[in-house]
């Protein structure tokens, strides 16, 4: 980021500059429908239910330790959650709450450091292993979004800002714990597709998986805007990876698009949100969708979220398994190297599912716009 580009300390200033909204569709004052999770399952019952208006809940303890019958029901439930929502909560996941708090505290401390202590990472590009910035990609979107972030590549190798001192140890442990959890979910998702438990891991070379940790900070913003995106922390997008795990600081703001409506996600205590990403949509041949989601900014309180995203090996060419082809349509996506996909999505303005559309097989429409011709297989 050059010195003329916005930095995190400009966020409040930019927020104060937003003009009053003229329209009646005032995003920041609109109250989206609130959606609670379905009630947690009682012992011995399959994990959660999946009704029209309740975010599905997946009990990891049943997936990992349940007997064959319980596990099989939990796998089916997980499959329906991926198919109907692309979004669910996971409970009994075993990641200590103290570790989650320690990560959030370390990220919070980083955001409060004086700019000179973060400068080195504020010049970073989308494929640099540590990146600190404002908005989504200030090179293409300026400081339009009320978000500060820190992104750290966590696997195959952990990269981390030197300050605060506590960050490296906490990030290493959090990355390892959440990677294990995400790999368990991936195995169960593989089964839910009728594939061998290790099939997705094998296709995406998850032994060398990519993982990134992201800390998001959304300063409060009470101002309205005449731009629909004005009071948004992150605009509508799907994630570039396979699965994203997210927890927040008790301030709501994450919305998911479900059956054409934006729903505010309210977590069950102690749960994580899990967001299906574009690579899951590709590898499942479109059976499971990378869900559109966005982050709203609270008018009075700072919101924070911590993300752990699991992706394929950066050098894996991701394409749908041939066993998931549905005649006569066949495969819905062309193969794409994950590194190229991620670089494309991170280097451009966030445009809903625009990156995925570039690798979708066009059946009737011809387009000359491709992700990067050399990366399509
Ligand atoms: O902060 C949130 O709730 C959403 C964050 C998010 O979607 C992301 O980091 O990709
Ligand atoms: Fe996201």
Domain spans, the chain: 57-358
Are the C-beta atoms of 234 and 144 separated by less than 8 Å?
Answer: no
Residues having C-beta closer than 5 Å to ion ligand 2? 239
Nearest CA to ligand 1 atom 7: 294
Question: Is 360 in a helix, a strand, or coil?
Answer: strand
Cβ(293) – ligand 1 distance below 6 Å: yes
User: Which run of H or of E encompasses 246?
Assistant: strand 243-248
Among 17-31, 280-294, 356-370, the range with the most confident prediction by mean pLDDT is 280-294
Distances, alpha carbon 86 to alpha carbons 37, 80, 174, 202, 229, in Å? 15, 9, 24, 22, 24
Rounded to 10 degrees, the C-alpha dihedral 37/261/84/60 comes to: -30
Main-chain phi, psi angles of 290, to 5 degrees: -70, 120
The two tokens of residue 163 are 């300050």
Q: What is the pLDDT averaged over residues 7-22?
A: 36
Are the C-beta atoms of 99 and 170 separated by less than 8 Å?
Answer: yes
Cβ(307) – ligand 1 distance below 6 Å: yes
How many whole angstroms from 248 Cα to the centroid of ligand 2?
13
Q: Is the peptide bond before 156 cis (omega within 30 degrees of 0)?
A: yes
Task: Look up tokens 């994630």; give the residue.
Answer: 239
Q: Which residues pair with 55 in a beta bridge?
A: 37
pTM: 0.85
With 90 as the cut, is the pLDDT of residue 260 above it? yes
ipTM of the complex, rounded to two decimals: 0.99
Pocket test for ligand 1, best of 146, 219, 295, 298 (most atoms within 8 A of CB): 295
Cβ(309) – ligand 1 distance below 6 Å: no
Alpha carbon distance 105, 98 (integer Å)? 10
Alpha carbon distance 108, 209 (integer Å)? 27
Q: Which of 97, 89, 96 has the alpha carbon at shortest distance from 39? A: 89
Angle between helices 68-84 and 167-192 (to 10 degrees): 100
pLDDT tens per residue, range 53-65: 699 999 999 999 9
Cβ(171) – ligand 1 distance below 6 Å: no
Cβ(152) – ligand 1 distance below 6 Å: no
Alpha carbon distance 106, 185 (integer Å)? 27
The two tokens of residue 53 are 């208006």
Alpha carbon distance 242, 75 (integer Å)? 17
Alpha carbon distance 46, 63 (integer Å)? 10
The C-alpha R_g of the chain, in whole angstroms, comes to: 20
Could you tell me the CATH superfamily of domain 57-358? Answer: B-lactam Antibiotic, Isopenicillin N Synthase; Chain (2.60.120.330)
Q: Which residues contact 9 (CB under 8 A, 6 or more apart)?
A: 115
User: Which run of H or of E encompasses 293?
Assistant: strand 293-296
With 90 as the cut, is the pLDDT of residue 342 above it? yes
With 70 as the cut, is the pLDDT of residue 140 above it? no
How are beta strands 130-134 and 272-276 bridged, if at all? unpaired
Residue 362 binned pLDDT confidence (cut-offs 50, 70, 90):
confident
């Amino acid at each position: 980021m050059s010195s003329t580009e916005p930095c995190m300390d400009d966020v409040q200033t930019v927020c104060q500059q937003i003009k009053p909204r003229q329209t009646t569709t005032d995003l920041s004052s609109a109250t989206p429908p609130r959606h609670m999770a379905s009630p947690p399952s009682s012992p011995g019952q399959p994990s959660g239910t999946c009704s029209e208006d309740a975010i599905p809940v997946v009990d990891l303890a049943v997936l990992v330790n349940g007997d064959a019958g319980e596990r099989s029901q939990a796998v089916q439930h997980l499959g329906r959650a991926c198919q109907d929502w692309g979004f669910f909560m996971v409970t009994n996941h075993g990641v200590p709450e103290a570790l989650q708090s320690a990560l959030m505290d370390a990220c919070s401390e980083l955001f409060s450091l004086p700019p000179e202590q973060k400068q080195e990472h504020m010049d970073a590009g989308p494929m640099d292993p540590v990146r600190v910035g404002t908005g989504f990609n200030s090179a293409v979107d300026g400081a339009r979004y009320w978000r500060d972030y820190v992104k750290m590549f966590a696997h195959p190798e952990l990269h981390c800002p030197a300050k605060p001192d506590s960050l490296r140890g906490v990030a290493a442990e959090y990355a390892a714990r959440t990677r294990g959890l995400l790999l368990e979910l991936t195995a169960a998702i593989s089964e839910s597709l009728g594939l061998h438990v290790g099939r997705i891991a094998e296709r995406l070379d998850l032994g060398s998986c990519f993982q990134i940790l992201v800390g998001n900070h959304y300063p409060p913003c009470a101002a309205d805007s005449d731009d629909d995106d004005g009071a948004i922390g992150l605009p509508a997008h799907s994630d570039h990876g396979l699965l994203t795990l997210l927890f927040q600081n008790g301030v709501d703001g994450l919305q998911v698009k479900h059956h054409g409506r934006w729903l505010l996600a309210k977590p069950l205590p102690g749960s994580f949100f899990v967001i299906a990403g574009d690579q899951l949509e590709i590898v499942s041949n479109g059976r499971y969708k990378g869900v559109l989601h966005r982050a709203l900014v609270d008018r009075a309180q700072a919101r924070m979220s911590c993300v752990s995203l699991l992706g394929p090996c950066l050098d894996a060419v991701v394409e749908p398994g041939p066993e998931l082809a549905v005649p006569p349509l066949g495969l819905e996506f062309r193969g794409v190297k994950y590194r190229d996909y991620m670089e494309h999505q991170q280097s451009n303005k966030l445009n809903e599912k625009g990156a995925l559309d570039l690798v979708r097989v066009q059946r009737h429409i011809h387009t000359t716009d491709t992700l990067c011709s050399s990366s399509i297989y």
